[in-house]
Amino acid sequence: MIATILLAMVQTAPVPSRAWKERNQPDMPVLPPCEPGNGATLVHSIKALPDAVSAELARFFHDGYGMADVGEPFNSTDVVEGTVPQRRFIRAYHSGNYWVIWYEQGGIIHALQTIALHRERRPGQRPAFQMAPGTSFTGDLCIATKAIISGVRGINP
C-alpha cells in the first residue's frame, strides 16, 4: 500500500504554487493592434519564425535566461527560481530586411521591449540574421517598430 502511494506521488506532476504561477505565468500583456506599414507581416509565436531568426534570438539571448514563447512560463520578477526564461516573446513583424521582435523583460524593472534582426546576405551563403545595433526600445512598441523599419536607431551604450 505504501509503495503504491509513493509511486502515485512520483508519477503525479507537482502543481505549481500560487506564488510560482503569479511570478512565472503572468497574463500576456494586452497591446493594441499595430500597423507598421511597408507591407509588414505579423507573427504570433517563436515557432512561426524562420529557423535562422529563432536561432539568432537564441544566440543573442544566450545568457542562460533565454526567451519563452507566447503563453509559456517566464520569470516576470527579480525572484529567480530554476531555469525559467527571463524574457517572453510577444509578437514579431517582418518588413523588408528586418524582423522586429516584441518581448517582455522580467526582473527588477519589468519592461516591454523591441529588438530587430537585420538580414545579412553573403555571397554563396543563405541569408543570415544578426541583431541590428540601436534597435532596443521600450515604451510604445508600435511607434518603435515603425521607427526601426524607417531606419531610426538609438544610441548603444
Contact partners, residue 101, CB within 8 Å, separation at least 6: 57, 89, 92, 114, 115, 116, 117
Q: Please give the single-letter amino acid code of residue 87.
A: R
The pLDDT of residue 98 is above 70: yes
What's the confidence (pLDDT) of residue 120?
78
HSE-up of residue 36 (Cα within 13 Å, Cβ side):
28
State the pLDDT confidence band at 106, using cuts at 50, 70 and 90: confident
Comparing CA positions, the residue from 59, 54, 85 lying closest to residue 72 is 85
pTM of the model: 0.79
Distance CA 34, CA 142 (A): 6
- Chain-centroid distance of CA 48 in Å reads 13
State mean pLDDT over 68-72.
Answer: 91
